[in-house]
Structure 1
Amino acid sequence: QYLSPEPLSRDAREQRIASAITEAAVAAIQRASENLDMTTLMAVGARIAGSGNVLCIGSGGISSMMATEMQNRLFRLGLSALAQVDGQLQRMYAAVATPETTLVAFSVSGYARSVIEAVEVAQQYGAATVAITAPDSALAKVADTVIQLQSFEDGNIYKPTSSRYALLAILDMIATTVAESRGPKVLENLRRIKQSVNTLKVDDPKLPLGD
């Protein structure tokens, strides 16, 4: 596949590229939604909403990006959230976890060693561990709770993987669940963030909050 790829068609290139990206993204999100156990996801959201602190970890391009994005979603809801994508720091922060900690681990493959080891370390100190990962993977087998993500790729090696859209959709569902679980008390933080952005003269109410 990588040594002898199929030749690229130059016909209608712009339309083909746009269709390939958007259709694959929609399909990935749709598959994730259809296979999602919402009861599990809602329970995860409730656990995070009541956590003293949240450690978000991931390794690699997609999963590390998701860990950082989870931190970005949670801090504005009044939660103490921290993302770590360095393997050694993941273990170090896991080692100071407490029963009030929720560790959220992202891995598309489910075989990122540093992530698996951090989950195991955090469990030793009573933390609740959640994995968004492939079913039956090594990470899925060690985490307390698993939100399953089955990665499907279409074989087009020239375009970025579509799995990240599915992961992002799941992350947004968790974030929405957390926000609704915490209720009106999140509004003051959101108001402050909006006000801080408005001081930069970005006062268009149609723009995303702080993005």
Structure 2
Amino acid sequence: MSEIFKSSVPIIESVYDSLTPSEKDIADFFIKNTDETLDFSSKNIASLIHVSEASLTRFSKKCGFSGYREFIYDYQSKKIPENIQYQSKQMKRVLHDYNKILNKTYSLIEVEQIERFATRLAHAKRVYIYGKGSSGLAATEMKNRFMRLGLPIEAISDDDVMLVNHVLVDKDTVVIGFSISGDKQVVLKAMTQATANKAYTVMFTTQQNNVNEKIVNEVIPVASVKNLSFGNRISPQLPLLIITDIIYDYFMEVDNPKKDTFFKQSLESLNINKEEEESKYE
């Protein structure tokens, strides 16, 4: 397996749905391009794609950069090499998608944001996770993991319960939304209600521009590959589970002795010895 590399492509993909047709042409070019010797000057690229240099600037700003110059510097410095050898085409397809998800997660993640989120979780009186379908299953997994560390957390996937739950939400509550596509209306509505009730709200999605400050306080971007939401080759839960594991590790560091005590107690309730369990993997 190859190393993990940073790339600008996940950033482009995370805003793709909010781009204009001409900006999508620009995005498609940079996502598919493999020629590292190309002249990336704005004049040359604009000529190749048949767009204006002003369009390149607008595209770059939508990707979160100050302009095209900053975007292209980032793009050129973060190219991912494709040098993995696989034993079969089936293994190649699946593991290639896995490797893409890992690389894109590494490229998208912001350590300060994850640390801030883990700290907010640790001090929350209540935590709710909203999700539908595969995102709902990932929400349940997150609930089961963090509950064992003493966090009062609940996963909700029922539409009616999700919408009514806002009566239990206040400023001491953290509400998390899981939506790969970012367009599940019931999740968006429930998150909007929670935000209006002064809860600390965070959306995990691959399409961060689909969510604004009226819906949530902040967005944690999630990695994606083509047709991920359909689950055609790998589980749509995978990128959500990866980011959950990263947050879990940061969360463990906040008041670690207390978390460790809760974890041991949860193992004891299941008749599992922590030391014996850990020794299996040494």
TM range (shorter): 0.7 to 0.9
Residue ranges of structure 2 left out of the alignment (5+ in a row) = 1-86
Q: Is the 8 A contact 2:104 2:224 kept in 1?
A: no
Is 1:58 aligned to 2:137, yes or no? no
Question: Counterparts of 1:173-192 in structure 2 under 5 Å?
Answer: 173-192=246-265
Structure 1 match to 2:55: none
User: Is 1:99–2:174 an aligned residue pair?
Assistant: no
Q: Relative to 1, partners in 2 of residues 1:40 and 1:205: Cα closer, same or farther, differing over 3 Å?
A: closer
Distance across 1 between alignment mates of 2:212 and 2:130: 12
Equivalent of residue 124 in structure 1, options 196, 200, 209: 196
Counterpart code for 1:23: H
Contact 1:140 1:146 in 2 (8 A): no
- Output the aligned Cα RMSD: 2.5
Equivalent residue, structure 1, for 2:141: 69
Percent identical residues: 24
Deviations 1:65-107 (A, max 9, x none): 1211111121111110000011111111123201111001111
Cα deviation per residue 1:34-56 (whole Å; 9 max; x = unaligned)? 12122112111111111001001
**Normalising by structure 2, what TM-score?**
0.61
Higher relative contact order (CA 8 A, sep 6+): 1
Aligned to 1:24: 97
2:176 and 2:147 map into 1 onto residues whose CA distance is: 14
- The aligned length equals 191
Which of the two has greater helix per residue?
2
Tell me, yes or no, if the aligned pair for 2:223 and 2:239 is still in contact at 8 Å: no
The structure with more radius of gyration: 2
Structure 2 Cα separation of the partners of residues 158 and 113 of structure 1:
20
The corresponding residue for 1:46 is 119
Query: Counterpart of 2:203 in structure 1: which amino acid?
Result: A
Within 2, Cα distance between the matches of 1:54 and 1:38?
A: 21
* DSSP 3-state at the match of 1:98: coil
Unaligned ranges ≥5, structure 1: 1-13
Aligned to 1:37: 110
Residue pair 1:56, 1:105 contacting (<8 A) in 2 also: yes
CA positional deviation for 1:150: 4.5
The alpha-carbon distance between structure 1 residues 139 and 132, as it changes in their structure 2 partners (threshold 3 A), is farther
Give the structure 1 partner of residue 219 of structure 2: 146
Residue 23 of structure 1, CA deviation = 2.2
Cα 1:59–1:188 shift into 2, 3 Å: same
- CA deviations 1:149-178 (Å, max 9, x no partner) are 2422279x8843455322211111111111
Matched, 1:111 2:183: yes
Alignment of 1:162-201 (within 5 A): 163-198=236-271
Higher mean displacement: 49-58 or 129-138: 129-138
- Deviations for 1:170-208, whole angstroms, at most 9, x for unmatched residues? 1111111111113210111111222233369xx544459
Give the SS at the match of 1:31.
Answer: helix
**Does structure 2 retain, via aligned residues, the 8 Å contact 1:28–1:162?**
no
Cα distance between partner residues in 2 of 1:127 and 1:97? 6
**Contact kept? 2:129, 2:177, Cα under 8 Å:** yes
Residues 1:91 and 1:206: Cα distance change in structure 2 (over 3 Å): farther
Superposed structure 1 runs of 4+ greater than 4 Å apart = none
